[in-house]
Structure 1
Amino acid sequence: MGGLCLLSRGTIVTIDIDKFVQNIEEIKKRFGNIMLVVKANAYGHGMRTISKIAEELNIWGFMVAFLEEGAILRKEGIRKPILISNFVEPSRAEEALELDLSITIYSEDQLDALESVVSSKERLKVHLFVDTGMGGLGTDIERALILAKRLANSGFRFEGVYSHFSSADIPEDPYNEYQFKRFEDFIKALRTSGISYEIAHMFNSPALISLQHHSHFDLSRVGIIAYGLQPSEFFKVEWIKPILEWKSKVVHLRWLEEGEFVSYGKTYKTLRKTLVGVVPVGYGDGLNRRLSNVGDVLIEGKRARIIGRVCMDQIMVDLTDVEGVKIGSEVVIIGRQGEEAVCAEEIAKKVGTINYEVTTGISWRVPRVFHRDGKIVKVEEGMWLDAT
């Protein structure tokens, strides 16, 4: 079944392929080989098309969160390695094997379950996750070493071993050095024990910047900076370019007199005669409701305040001081218009979250329109309706 494509209202996300390619090439030049993280629809940027483009750029492969995401990539013709970072129901392991997807191993119980159900162990690729300080999936270093020895003799293809930083976005946090040293010591213990694996990886986007004085092991897992978003509020990466813009248009204009209410709950009352514009985008599309009365959009090169509560399918904005506005005027929710810009980081700060959540939260209702050399080359629609 094909996905549902909502193009009738003019609310879209545009993705600049040229900037994405520039980001990937610059990352590779600075840090070497990479595993591109494309989970959660490539952080909202359109996993299918992003992955096809990235595969042409000679990267190592991809990381997804769940089996179904990997299945989508294989259905799209992606041939590079794909690592599933999260839980896979053991009864579904055969699907991972048939799709040539690598599974993350994080406990002895999980390994027991996999050994009991997988028919062709030598074909199933696995990566061992070692918990150096996240406190979630994985085991402590000592038990992880025992698990690694089991894996080496299990018949599975021991493709990799990895860990994950907890606080790499905070450069001065000594916990980063603590985690790095624990993983480094674990790798040394594997070598001392004669345990073979193919690749080791730990560094994510913020770690590549804040801990670049360290070795990055065999490759790095790159997510947020590939899409041109800042990996930390404590430092800025100047050489990446945001590749996503979120746009809509003005579909209705009306004047309200002083003292009239706007939207649900009467949270906004006009203080003067006000020109109100209606824009067909809302929290059903991933526009955070906490932007009510505090968020800005760009119209005719000027900032316009969201007034009243963000609705499921629309917002109202104050256009009283915006010259030249008309029905059909472009509305920029994320991106640049003239000399003004609204970035994902600004939105994140206003609603008390991180830029990851801002773009990842843009829902399937919003088509992703991909541009290359200034031309539309692909429209990615309704991904999650087409996941099977």
Structure 2
Amino acid sequence: MTDPAPHRAEIVVDLAAIRHNVRVLKDLVSVDRPVRLMTVVKADGYGHGMAEAAAAARAGGADWLGVATIDEALALRGAGDRGPLLCWLSAPGDDFAGAVAADVEVTAYSVAELDEIAAVGGARVQLKVDTGLSRGGAPRDAWAALFAAAVAHEAAGRVRVTGIWSHFAASDEPAHPANDQQEAAFREALALAGQAGLDPEVAHLANSAAALLRPSSHFDLVRCGIASYGLDPAPGASPRVGLRPAMSVRARLVMSKAIAAGDGVSYGHTWHAPEDTTVGVVPAGYGEGVPRAAGNTAAVWVDDSLRPIRGRVCMDQFVVDLHGELPPPGTEVVLFGPGDRGEPTAQDWAEATGTISYEIVTRLGGRLVRRYVDSDATEGTPR
């Protein structure tokens, strides 16, 4: 596979890695019985490109796709996706009619939201119950009313209730007591729904971490977001199952030069050279989503060596310590990648900047070119 030098700075996404991860996850959760897999492609596919990630996930065996908003769902339909698709975050006045026309399943958190969806007619609706995250979803004292309203709308032919679901708060911490509490609450909600007369096609609770760590929570369907892109949803707790990071971020040095001991680097001179050294300028900054917090904490890969970022990350560029070397302009810089060569990973950047890998990959964009490669094929496609 040819791998051309990046144009200034770019994101490279390996579609084969996404296909591989989806296959691995589907096999993992279906060891004892068939469990369907939803690949979550919200937020532009966690920075990997929504339509491209969705197509790769479908090719890898994803039964469902999941997005946050109706706009995202309609964009996927516009890109040609026709499989089962759920969205779950709406506001009053959203385009439920457009979702119904595009065969998108929508989520109701409340009776008022369900009534608005039912007014359109013909909707496939899933009900979300809050089992302890205290975010979206019907609170426990509203479950009975939501289920009764759903039964009434279903009997009138206004909706079809296809699913009931919830979301973990702490599945990346296997010993956290909230996990047992939430799973018990979810089972209680399913029992109450059945008593009310609902018979949904799917019940789902597990996200990426629970897919790897909590088989009892798999139910009919698991929703895998970050794991589909090859990143660990529970660092330090997840088993090694062979996931492959799909994203690399690369740039080229625009210059390198010598600086003297005591010289300050970048805005505010938050780093001074303790001895004579050399530095390089990398043409990407927080305008591209590079975390400003990476200054003096993260490192990049240049000439087969880790090179620490020195000084503050600027809007368009940052500076790295080259330890006395003067590689020429155009030399490749890898901000992060799969780690196969020793380069930093998205998880390394997350730890260096005090965040999670989800944020690292999702926030990147701006002037970065996104290019797609297929490590099972021969060509890449820029976007």
Partner amino acid for 1:84?
Answer: C
Shift in CA distance, 114/336, structure 1 to aligned 2, threshold 3 Å: closer
1:182-233, CA deviations, whole angstroms, 9 ceiling, x for partnerless residues? 1112212222333222211111111112212x15111110111111101113
2:136 corresponds to which residue?
137
Q: Please report the TM-score for the alignment, with normalisation by the length of structure 1.
A: 0.90
2:152 corresponds to which residue?
153
1:110-133, CA deviations, whole angstroms, 9 ceiling, x for partnerless residues? 2233344x2xx12x1111000000
Task: Check the 8 A contact 1:286/1:361 in 2, yes or no.
Answer: yes
1:232 corresponds to which residue?
234
2:347 corresponds to which residue?
345
Distance 1:209 1:275 in 2: 44
- Residue 339 of structure 1, CA deviation: 4.1
Alignment partner of 2:212: what SS? helix
Task: Check the 8 A contact 1:301/1:337 in 2, yes or no.
Answer: no
Select the residue among 298, 304, 309 that pairs with 1:306.
309
Select the residue among 211, 217, 220 that pairs with 1:218.
220
1:133-173, CA deviations, whole angstroms, 9 ceiling, x for partnerless residues? 01122222342232122112212121211000111000011
Select the residue among 258, 262, 271 that pairs with 2:261.
258
Select the residue among 317, 329, 333 that pairs with 2:335.
333
2:278 corresponds to which residue?
275
Distance 1:8 1:370 in 2: 12
Partner amino acid for 2:370?
Answer: R
Distance 1:235 1:338 in 2: 21
- Residue 238 of structure 1, CA deviation: 1.5
Alignment pair present for 1:93 and 2:102? no
Task: Check the 8 A contact 1:298/1:337 in 2, yes or no.
Answer: no
Q: Superposed, which structure 2 residues align to 1:135-214 within 5 Å?
A: 135-154=134-153, 155-212=158-215, 214=216
1:288-331, CA deviations, whole angstroms, 9 ceiling, x for partnerless residues? 10111121100000011111110111111111244x72211110
- Residue 101 of structure 1, CA deviation: 1.8
2:32 corresponds to which residue?
none
Task: Check the 8 A contact 1:67/1:88 in 2, yes or no.
Answer: no
Shift in CA distance, 91/245, structure 1 to aligned 2, threshold 3 Å: closer
Distance 1:81 1:35 in 2: 9
| Stretch moving more, 161-170 or 80-89 | 80-89
Distance 1:115 1:85 in 2: 16
Alignment partner of 2:337: what SS? strand
Identity fraction in percent: 32
Partner amino acid for 1:141?
Answer: R
Aligned residues: 368
Distance 2:260 2:61 in 1: 60
Distance 2:151 2:94 in 1: 22
Distance 2:54 2:141 in 1: 36
1:127 corresponds to which residue?
126
Task: Check the 8 A contact 1:267/1:309 in 2, yes or no.
Answer: yes
- Residue 374 of structure 1, CA deviation: 5.3
Alignment partner of 1:341: what SS? coil
Distance 1:29 1:233 in 2: 21
Shift in CA distance, 338/136, structure 1 to aligned 2, threshold 3 Å: closer
- Residue 42 of structure 1, CA deviation: 1.2
1:34 corresponds to which residue?
37
1:57 corresponds to which residue?
60
Partner amino acid for 2:41?
Answer: V
Distance 2:128 2:59 in 1: 28
Structure 2 residues not aligned, in runs of 5+: 30-34
1:384 corresponds to which residue?
none
Task: Check the 8 A contact 2:253/2:282 in 1, yes or no.
Answer: yes
Partner amino acid for 1:11?
Answer: A
| Stretch moving more, 262-271 or 126-135 | 262-271
Structure 1 residues not aligned, in runs of 5+: 1-6, 381-388
Task: Check the 8 A contact 1:335/1:342 in 2, yes or no.
Answer: yes
Shift in CA distance, 364/82, structure 1 to aligned 2, threshold 3 Å: farther
- Residue 379 of structure 1, CA deviation: 2.5
